[in-house]
Copies of this chain bind each other. A is one copy, B any other.
Amino acid sequence: MTDTDPSQIKGFNRARERAARALLEDYVEMIADLTAEFGEARITEIAARLGVAHPTATKAVARLKREGLAVSRPYRGVFLTETGEALADQVRERHRTVVALLRAVGVPEEVAEIDAEGIEHHVSSRTLEAFEAFLASKAGK
């Protein structure tokens, strides 16, 4: 049997790690959006916008709190910690870049938004840099 290619394993492992973080990232981004819009993020609103039942959102927020990304008290809104805010900023920026890249290579706007919601979580910092450079060079075409 041929030797197993370690870089391929790396790809699968990375993909699994990133998939596990994807949900956290979307919640953090959503909480940031709602806080900007309403001054706080309510569980019901988070759940509605993510398209899940409210206990699902409650559980996810519990995980965010456990990981130090958010805080909340019973029957009150959810807020991001500084760590959470930093993550939200990063995630939002990456989201924008991914959508822009997709648009730049000819993906229709609506499709780009939908696909980016999944793709974004698998874009590494190296790839993000490449996207930014590509967009910059195209801007100054």
Contacts and interface: CB of A to CB of B under 8 A. Distances in A.
Contacts of A116: 11
Most buried by B among A13, A112, A119: A119
A85 interface: no
Contacts of A5: 49
Interface of A: 1-2, 4-5, 7-15, 18-19, 22, 26, 37-38, 45, 48-51, 101-102, 105-108, 110-119, 121-124, 126-127, 130-131, 133-134
Given A22-B19, A49-B8, A122 B122 contact: yes
A51 B19 contact: no
A118 B45 contact: no
